[in-house]
Chains A and B, each alone.
Chain A
Amino acid sequence: MATADPAPPERAGSLFDTELYHRIRTVAMGVLVVVAVAVLLMWPSITDYYSYNASYYNGIVASAAISAILTISLNLSMGYGGMLSMMHSGLQLAGGYATAYVVVKASGSWLLGVAASAAVGVLLAVLVLLVSLRATYLYFGMITLAANLIVIESGREWESVTGGIVGLSGVAPKLGDEPMSKQAFYYVVLAFLALAYVVQRNIVRSGVGRAAMAVRESSDTASAMGISPARAKLLLFGVCGGIAGVSGALYALQLGFINPDVGLLDNGIIFFVGLFLGGISTLIGPVIGVALIAVLVELIKDQARYTTLVLGVLLLVAMMVIPRGIVGTWRASRAGRDRVSDAGDDTLPDEVPDVVPEVRDAAPEVPAIEGVGLVKHFGGVHAVDGVDIRIMPGTVHGIIGPNGSGKSTLVSCLTRYHRLDSGKVMIFGEEAPAAPHRVAAAGVTRVFQVPHLFERVSVLDNVLTGMRMRESYTWLGATLRSSAYRRQDRAERAEARELLAFAGLASRADWPASSLSHGQKRLLEVVRAVATRPKVLILDEPATGLTSTELDALGRLCRVLRERGLAVVLIEHDVDFVMGLCDEITVVESGKVIERGDPERVQSSPAVLEAYLGRPELIEETA
């Protein structure tokens, strides 16, 4: 393409970009993982051989693993879901109580206790999230902090269940009738850590995780993809609660007791430090971070009262020196980053791939989307003041008008981002649902005026996010990688690559979205919107800042979509672009429609000329 590409990752010449280096690195990483896993598995034998105090050292690793489980949960909620939870130590406490109650007071099996803990964790997390759905993220942090204190206070007061300030002790796992040995329980803890890691990885890589990350970046954009922000958050936070509950159960079983102090933020800080040190929003970061802290705490155990102080300082220093954490910094470094494909000279294919959506069964004469008497006032500003608009399927419909004439507000009304003061919106003859994500589900997808890409993920993942609506697998299916999940995932990836190829972005599919040029970003947004398989596609000023080649690509895409029976709505300033492409144009001025019709009619309309140029008598001279 003719645009200046932002520097694609370094050209050859550097040692770190050679294939050999990457091959060696992959092998080295693999060896490292195998060694780490082997050491963890053989740890009890190692300590048994080298130390008289084996159970102490086994306990340290088990406790660290339990902390790592909780930190994984925290990473899921903060790193991937963008939900700043200050109640994770409280969730752990609640989980601990559940197991302790089942084992000590109800004398049930410890496995039942773990299940109860998971349930309690989920319940608590869901409850808090439901309470704070409307809260912005600062308030969410505060509410979770308050919830944390409430859990601790309840633990202190509700003596019959929690044992009050003293807590419950004598929580021990049993194997049959015999108490389980600490060594056996060590492997139980490891198994749960592996499980938590796998749950995290599978969720993050599936549509469930992509939906949550979309909501993290912008809940408006997520809604435009048909993702319900509330549902995505609830699901992810519920899973986080469950994992945190399990870690509480393991905590109680490992140490044999649980008391309210476990929930205090002083204890919770270790998870924050671990997360930030290891690398937030990375899969293995939490585990590495917690492991380092465990080593550190062990080293300063003779000065244990300084632990909080040291951890606090460490946290501040880590934020300054390695803001992305160990894993994040490694990934961004020359030695650690992944190789991305070179930017090929993507030629646009002539064939239209089948994956481009098609609308066939539309009833004739029924508008794809219709606004009747739309009114939206902001205080005294009549942004949209009684607009009627009909957009037919299989057409490209332009909405033009001077700056501030209410075009974008009109779109937000049609897609229900704004609550209407009066009027109604019909989609294929049926009343439009009230929530933006339901409008998207009904087949109306919008692309925003300001680019709203998910910059931190790859180009391909951006397109995949657009497909969330039609994924039928559940989070459990994604976690277990069910056959339905794998089939859908494979199909989606193939389809996304085809769509990208059609837009000329094929060779950039694995690049981070942030590395694209402005024009490519706009194009990618359109591709992502097309991936939702819309019946109506609304583009808000897509052509702004595009080069002529990119304009051509965009125009071609719009024409293809029209041929496929979609209704395309273009809000544009570029008059040449609009006139050359649109079948019908609506001109808006001061919130009212001043002209509508085909391009010729609009171009010759005195009302339009006046709106744009103010003084029609001057037109002759300039023309």
Chain B
Amino acid sequence: MSPEVIIDGLFAGSVYALVALALAIVFQPTRIMNFAQGEALILGAAVSYQIVALEKMSWALALVVTIVVAALMGVLMERMIMLPVRMSGSRYAWIIATLAAALIFQSLFNLGFFDVDALRPDPVVAGGFEIAGVSVEWQELLAIIVALAVMAGYDLFLRRSVYGRAIRATAHSSDTSVLMGIPVQRIVVLSFVIAAVITAVAGLLAAPVIFIAPAVGLTFTIKGFTAAVIGGVGSPRGALAGGMIVGLLDTVVRSVVGGTVGNFAVFAALAVILIVFPSGLFGKPMEAH
């Protein structure tokens, strides 16, 4: 095992951490664990692949287009998921609706990129540097920095802004929040949009390095969920810690044992954690579920 594996793990971890954060953002006001979240990651990868690799245009454009398209996807997802959930009233509605949304997006990506194995554009910043004998790719460093910045930014947003307080209130009780005059519906839409944009940016950063096929969105959702469970659903810091643990575990096991055993290790870790700590490592119990 080379030290580069650690860097790779941290890089993958920051991607998972962003997905975990996005899952938590949607979960807080809606009590819904969005199975379609990983599809936004594919969207980011697909847009950057289309613009940078196929159209040979700039990364800046890819970023702007990704953010706009992801915001639209967030709005669409909110409709696709929340409408059936409200109208059906079944206890499983949310899981079926998010799963259906995931499969719809997945099949759209499959249709659009049916001849593509991996959505892999050129890196934003090519090359790398060497520090203390460890070579680091700029792209990896960039992803880690962006992840940290997004986490810190969202943490600040949650604690300091009026909207952040409203989101936290809604997370506690959406019924009471409505009575307090908080526009819960707008906050729900906003959460879906923010979550989709964050995940899409993660996809955009990950695409040049990680293998992202059009159909693997669900795998990223589950790894993000694992990270969220380990870190405790709700806190950006927890998401970061959880993401790093999952990323390191995945990458290290993959490099030591090889192949798909990495997935194995992550899912096994999830199972073990849920057995020993039914409400996550740092988390509070999720009552409503």
A328 to B111, CA, bound (A): 35
A153 to B100, CA, bound (A): 23
**B79-87, B122-130, B135-143: which lies at the interface:** B79-87
From the candidates A131, A132, A269, name the one contacting B99 in the complex (CB within 8 A). Answer: A269
Known A143-B271, A308-B106, A313-B104; judge A320-B88 contact (CB<8 A).
yes
Least Cβ–Cβ distance between A17 and chain B, in angstroms: 26
User: Taking chain A's interface residues, is the majority helix, strand, or loop, or is none over half, making it mixed?
Assistant: helix
Instruction: Please encode chain A, from 297 to 329, with 1 for each CB lying within 8 Å of some chain B CB and 0 for all others.
Output: 000000001101101110110011001000000
Q: Which positions 112-167 of chain A face chain B at CB distance < 8 Å?
A: 131-132, 134-139, 141-143, 145-147, 149-150, 153, 156-157
Q: Is the CB of A134 within 8 A of B93?
A: no
Interface residue B186 (Cβ < 8 Å from any Cβ of A): no
A590 to B278, CA, bound (A): 32
Interface residue A391 (Cβ < 8 Å from any Cβ of B): no
Q: Which positions 311-365 of chain A face chain B at CB distance < 8 Å?
A: 311-313, 315-316, 319-320, 323
Q: Which residue of B lies closest to A145 (CB)?
A: B222
* Interface-centre pick from A131, A147, A315 (highest chain B CB count, 10 A): A315
Q: Which residue of B lies closest to A141 (CB)?
A: B95
Q: Is the CB of B106 within 8 A of A266?
A: yes
List of A residues within 8 angstroms of B263 by Cβ: 149, 153
Q: Which residue of A lies closest to B219 (CB)?
A: A149
Least Cβ–Cβ distance between A275 and chain B, in angstroms: 9
From the candidates A265, A280, A311, name the one contacting B218 in the complex (CB within 8 A). Answer: A265
From the candidates A142, A149, A319, name the one contacting B93 in the complex (CB within 8 A). Answer: A319
User: Taking chain B's interface residues, is the majority helix, strand, or loop, or is none over half, making it mixed?
Assistant: helix
Least Cβ–Cβ distance between B283 and chain A, in angstroms: 11
Q: Which positions 68-126 of chain B face chain A at CB distance < 8 Å?
A: 80, 83-84, 87-93, 95-97, 99-101, 103-104, 106-108, 110-111, 114
Number of interface residues of A (CB under 8 A): 41
Q: Is the CB of B96 within 8 A of A272?
A: yes
From the candidates A157, A308, A320, name the one contacting B84 in the complex (CB within 8 A). Answer: A320
Interface residue A101 (Cβ < 8 Å from any Cβ of B): no
List of A residues within 8 angstroms of B89 by Cβ: 323
Known A138-B289, A150-B267, A320-B84; judge A78-B99 contact (CB<8 A).
no
Least Cβ–Cβ distance between B40 and chain A, in angstroms: 16
Interface residue A428 (Cβ < 8 Å from any Cβ of B): no
List of B residues within 8 angstroms of A146 by Cβ: 222, 267, 270-271
Instruction: Please encode chain B, from 213 to 247, with 1 for each CB lying within 8 Å of some chain A CB and 0 for all others.
Output: 00000110010010001000000000000000000
Interface residue A276 (Cβ < 8 Å from any Cβ of B): yes
* Interface-centre pick from A86, A131, A276, A312 (highest chain B CB count, 10 A): A312
List of A residues within 8 angstroms of B289 by Cβ: 136-139
A319 to B88, CA, bound (A): 6
Q: Which residue of A lies closest to B92 (CB)?
A: A84
Known A306-B111, A319-B88, A319-B97; judge A139-B274 contact (CB<8 A).
yes
A131 to B104, CA, bound (A): 31
A151 to B107, CA, bound (A): 22
A364 to B267, CA, bound (A): 58
Interface residue B275 (Cβ < 8 Å from any Cβ of A): yes
A82 to B268, CA, bound (A): 24
A490 to B33, CA, bound (A): 45
Q: Is the CB of A312 within 8 A of B93?
A: no
List of B residues within 8 angstroms of A272 by Cβ: 96, 99-100
Q: Which residue of B lies closest to A314 (CB)?
A: B100
A132 to B278, CA, bound (A): 9
A147 to B96, CA, bound (A): 18
List of A residues within 8 angstroms of B100 by Cβ: 269, 272, 312-313, 315-316, 319
Q: Which residue of A lies closest to B108 (CB)?
A: A309
A266 to B108, CA, bound (A): 13
Interface residue B161 (Cβ < 8 Å from any Cβ of A): no
From the candidates B84, B229, B285, name the one contacting A319 in the complex (CB within 8 A). Answer: B84
List of A residues within 8 angstroms of B95 by Cβ: 84, 138, 141
List of A residues within 8 angstroms of B259 by Cβ: 157
Known A265-B218, A320-B84; judge A276-B96 contact (CB<8 A).
yes
List of B residues within 8 angstroms of A78 by Cβ: 92
A24 to B274, CA, bound (A): 54
List of B residues within 8 angstroms of A143 by Cβ: 270-271, 274
Q: Is the CB of B33 within 8 A of A134?
A: no
Q: Is the CB of A323 within 8 A of B99?
A: no
Q: Is the CB of B88 within 8 A of A266?
A: no
10 additional contacts (CB under 8 A) given A142-B222, A308-B110, A316-B84: A134-B274, A139-B289, A147-B267, A157-B261, A266-B107, A280-B90, A308-B104, A311-B103, A312-B101, A316-B100
